[in-house]
Amino acid sequence: MTKLSVNINKIATLRNARGGNVPDLLKVAKDIQNFGGQGITIHPRPDERHIRYQDARDLKAIVTTEYNIEGNPQHNFIDLVLECKPDQVTLVPDAIGAVTSSAGWDTIKNQAYLTEVIQEFQRNGIRTSIFVDPVLEIIEGAKKTGTDRIELYTEAFAHQYDLGNKNGIDPYVKAAELANELSLGINAGHDLSLDNIQFFKQNIPGLLEVSIGHALISEALYLGLDNVVNMYLNKLK
C-alpha cells in the first residue's frame, strides 16, 4: 500500500488569515493521524505565510507517524531541518515568494550543491527526497546526488488527466521504472486528488508515498477530514 502523507499548509493558511489559533494546527495533525493518515508534511517558506518555523518545531512532538519537511535548502531551512530532525526532508527548488511549487530540480546543473546538502542531512539520520520532473536524465542525475528518494512532480499528469488524456501518465511510468532500476525510492505530489489518485497509483510501479494537501483539504470542506483521509487510503490500497 502506498502511504498517504497529508500536507497541512492550508490549515496554517486558514489559521493565519484570522490570527489566533483557530484552526489548531497541532490538533489537526493529531486528528489526521488518528483518522489513519500515515504521515504529516509541511512546507515552510521564508516569509512564513502559512507554516511558521515554530510550527515545525512544535509538530516534532506531535507527529508519531512520519514527519516530512519540504523546502528549498537555504541556510535557515537547513538549520530548521537539522534542529527538528524529521523522518524525511524533501528538497524543492522554490523561488522566494513563489505561490506554490512550479518545477522540479535540474539535478545535473545542481548536482554538486544537492550532493553536499543531502550528505549533511543523511549524516544526521534524515532520509532525503528530491522534487523532480519525470525526465529520465533528471532521474539519473538524482541518483548521482546520493538521494534516498525522488518525489515526482505530478502537476502535468493531473492537468492532462483533467483533460481526459490518460496518456499523460506515460512519462511518469517511464520515470518510475528507471527509478526502480536505480534503487531510488519513489514519492509523488502536487495536484493529486480523489479524482486522479487511484489511476496514478495503479500505474506507477513502486510508489511508496504521496503527499497531498490542497486538494485533500478542499475536498474535506465538503466531505469531512476523517472521511476524505479514509477515501484516499482506500484508493491507495
Question: Which residue in 70, 151, 209, 219 is the catalytic one?
Answer: 70
- Give mean pLDDT, residues 104-120: 97
pLDDT at 180 over 60: yes
- Which of 224, 175, 217, 225 has its CA nearest to residue 8? 217
DSSP letters for 120-133: HHHHTT-EEEEEE-
Which one-letter amino acid corresponds to residue 127? R
- Which of 73, 156, 67, 159 has its CA nearest to residue 110? 73
- Give mean pLDDT, residues 112-121: 97
Give residue 22's pLDDT: 97
- Residue 100 counted as an annotated binding residue: yes
70 is an active site residue? yes
Q: What are 185-219's pLDDT values in tens digits?
A: 999 999 999 999 999 999 999 999 999 999 999 99
Give residue 8's pLDDT: 98
Give residue 225's pLDDT: 98
Find cell 472521511 and name the residue. Answer: 227
pLDDT at 122 over 80: yes
- Residue 45 counted as an annotated binding residue: yes
- Which of 2, 9, 3 has its CA nearest to residue 216? 9
Angle at the Cα of 64 from the Cα atoms of 188 and 28, rounded to 5 degrees = 75
Host domain of residue 171: 3-236
Write the DSSP symbol of residue 98. -
- Give mean pLDDT, residues 100-124: 92
Query: What CATH number is attached to the domain comprising 103?
Result: 3.20.20.70
Question: Which residue in 66, 151, 190, 219 is the catalytic one?
Answer: 190
The reported pTM is 0.95
d(CA 209, CA 191): 14
Q: From the CA atom positions of the chain, what is the Rg in Å?
A: 17
**Do the beta carbons of residue 229 and residue 35 sit within 8 Å?**
yes
**Do the beta carbons of residue 118 and residue 143 sit within 8 Å?**
no
Q: What are 16-72's pLDDT values in tens digits?
A: 999 999 999 999 999 999 999 999 999 999 899 999 999 999 999 999 999 999 999
Give residue 173's pLDDT: 98
Give residue 44's pLDDT: 96
d(CA 133, CA 136): 9
Give residue 97's pLDDT: 52
- Residue 191 counted as an annotated binding residue: yes
- Residue 159 counted as an annotated binding residue: no
Q: What are 85-97's pLDDT values in tens digits?
A: 999 999 999 765 5
Domain count for the chain, please give it.
Answer: 1
pLDDT at 102 over 70: no
d(CA 46, CA 95): 10
- Which of 145, 231, 236 has its CA nearest to residue 187? 236
pLDDT at 235 over 80: yes
Q: What are 140-164's pLDDT values in tens digits?
A: 999 999 999 999 999 999 999 999 9
190 is an active site residue? yes
75 is an active site residue? no
